Amino acid sequence: MKLEGSHDVPAPRQKVWDAFLDPRQLKKAIPGCEKLEPLGGDAFKATLKVGVAAVKGTFEGKVRLSEQKPIESYRLAAEGSGGPGFVKADTLITLSEIEGGTRVAYSADVQVGGLIAGVGQRMLGGVSKMMADQFFGKMTELLRS
């Protein structure tokens, strides 16, 4: 499944870059994130509680940042598994200056399996978009404070 989108954040690009790489800020902004612990380098262990329709559960996994081009782009690879199945995602995140702030664009290839895959692509796409909107809304709020 391919997910793409962009959000405009009313903050300077350097400030947005720093926030998007700060585990404390990310933990606050990622919907359902219970833990985000550094593993060393640019890798983190994550625990998320997520629900899609009637399928709810806890996912444990790893997130790794790579191909960092400061204040321009980076690649985020995530994989996790739990009772509802598994999720693997490879996401390219790019930051560009716009009037009044920063545009954060993402392009992700996502694979899901297990019970959660039975929910269907359309619902998963809608839930993914909703979670992305919640994440960017919370990040915007954190950057304003």
pLDDT in tens, 49-98: 987 777 788 999 999 999 999 999 999 999 999 988 998 999 999 999 99
Task: Give the residue numbers spanning the domain of 107.
Answer: 2-144
Number of folded domains that form the chain: 1
> 48 - beta bridge partners?
33, 59
| Whole-number pLDDT of residue 128 | 86
The reported pTM is: 0.89
Mean pLDDT lowest among 37-41, 50-54, 90-94, 99-103: 50-54
Q: For residue 60, give the nearest of 49, 74, 76 by alpha carbon.
A: 49
Among 1-5, 93-97, 121-125, where is mean pLDDT lowest? 121-125
Q: Is the pLDDT of residue 100 over 90?
A: yes
pLDDT computed for residue 137 by the predictor: 92
Which position has the token pair 């985020």? 76
pLDDT score at 118: 81
Which is nearest to 93 in space by CA: 82, 78, 104?
Answer: 104
**pLDDT at residue 122, rounded to an integer:** 73
**Alpha helix ranges (H) inside the chain:** 13-20, 23-29, 121-144
Q: What is the pLDDT of residue 51?
A: 76
Round the average pLDDT of the chain to a whole number and report it. 91
**Domain CATH number, residue 64:** 3.30.530.20
